[in-house]
Amino acid sequence: MEKAAAIDTCLGVLNGRDCIYLNQVKRDALDNLTFTGDINGHLISRHKDEKEWFPYTLIFQRVLAYFACELDTYENMAMSGHLDDSSFDLIEDSSWLKSLPVREDFDKDIYQHYRLFTYDAVYDIIAVSYKLEVDV
């Protein structure tokens, strides 16, 4: 059964609707998806309240697929009450990943399903890995 597991970042677990603010999303020719913005220093579990905002760059590498949706619509569509939980999750036993009809030369086993809740939107991303760079 599908389960969302909070990702423990260098700032700890990121929690709540007001935690991740997004300035830009960019996809490059190498199938990387890059998010830049600021993380609310009051809604993290490590380095809490050291700074009001932490600038970040989050890069998903070798992206196979992604889906974006306005946050409130996503909440109504998918589940309710998530806004008090983690804002960055690994989706274990992902039904979307299992059902994705990838090319024969792709190894589906190397991909992970990530879910990112930003202030305005939710992103479901199928990628090989991610790298989070934070100005701590």
Least trusted range by pLDDT, from 9-13, 48-52, 77-81:
77-81
Task: Report pLDDT for 80.
Answer: 47
Residue 124: domain span: 3-134
pLDDT tens for each residue of 14-43: 998 899 999 999 999 999 999 999 999 999
- Residue 133 DSSP class: E
49: left (phi over 0), alpha (psi -120 to 50) or beta: left
Task: Report pLDDT for 72.
Answer: 83
pLDDT tens for each residue of 72-112: 888 887 654 455 579 999 999 999 999 999 888 889 899 99
Task: Report pLDDT for 13.
Answer: 96
| Structural domains in the chain (count) | 1
Enter the pTM of the model.
Answer: 0.92
Using alpha carbons, select from 6, 29, 2 the residue that is nearest to residue 88: 6
Least trusted range by pLDDT, from 48-57, 60-69, 80-89:
80-89
